[in-house]
Amino acid sequence: MVPVLPGLLVGGGAAGAAPGALQAAGVVALLSVEAEEPPPVAGIRTLHVPARDEPGTDLLSHLDSCAAFLSAARAGGGAALVRCHAGVSRSVAVVTAYLMKTNNLTFEEAYATIKAIKSDAKMNEGFECQLKLYEAMGCKVDVSSAIYKQYRLQKVTEKYPELQDLPQEVFAVDPTSICQTLNSEVLYRCRKCRRSLFRSSSILSHAEGSGPAAFAHKRITDPAQLRNDSQVKCTSYFIEPVQWMEPVLLGVMEGQVRGASTSHCLSMKLP
C-alpha cells in the first residue's frame, strides 16, 4: 500500500491481504477495481467497480461514485484503499481522477503526482483519454454534456456494432413528447412535414472533414465539384439517437438512417 494523500492509499491485489493489515493501516473503506468482485472484508466498507484493464473499459461513468466513496471514508477520519490486480493501471486511474476532482488539478498534474509517488504507475491509453474527458467536463460526469453523450455513443456502438438492442438510455426524448421546449434550446424540424426531430441539446460537436465528399451516399465524383465543396463550411449535424429513430435503426444502410415514413425527414451519419 502506497500513501498518496492523508487517508488515501493505492495498491495491488495483495495490498492489505495479510491478516489485520488493513486495520493496522487505518483503512475503513476498500475500493476494488477488478473484473470480479473480491470477497468482503469484515469491518471494512467496500465498493466494487467491475472493470478490466483494457482501453475499451468504461471507467469514466464510475468516477464520481468512486470520489464520493473515498471522500466519505476520509471525512470520517479513516483511510481508503484503492486496489486493482497489479496496482498499476485501474487503481491509478481512479486515484488520478480523485486528485483532479478534489485538488483542482489537471490530468497531467494529477498523473505526474501519482507517478512521482509510485514509479510503476501506468494506466492504459483508454483510461488516459477518459480522464481527459473528465477534465473537460469539469471533473464531473455530466450526462447531459455533449462530451459525455458522444463518449457513451462510442461505447454503445463498440458493444452493439450492428446497432441492434440499443439500451433505452442511449436515446434522447422525442421532442414531440415534450410539452414545451426550453427557451435556451432550438427545435429542429423537417422542412417538408415539419415534424420535430431533435433539440439543440442533442447536437454533438465534431471535427469538420472534407465536406460532402466524406459521405458515400452523396456520390460526388466530379473533381471540380469536390474542390468547390471543400471550401464550403460544414453543414452537417451529428446528433445523439432520438427515440423516434429506434424503429428505423434496424434499417441502417451505408451509415444513413432510413425508414419508409421518415426518410424524407432526416438522413444522417451516425458517430
Q: Of 66, 84, 139, 265, which is the active-site residue?
A: 84
Question: Can you tell me which residue has the cell 451519419?
Answer: 269
Q: Annotated catalytic, 139?
A: no
Spatial separation of the C-alpha atoms in residues 256 and 266, rounded to whole Å: 9
CB 191 within 8 A of CB 264: no
Strands 238-239 and 196-199: unpaired
Strands 203-204 and 238-239: antiparallel
**Rg for the chain, CA atoms, rounded:** 23
Among candidate residues 194, 196, 207, 195, the one with its CA nearest the CA of residue 238: 207
The number of beta carbons lying within 10 Å of the beta carbon of residue 194 is 9
Catalytic positions are 84
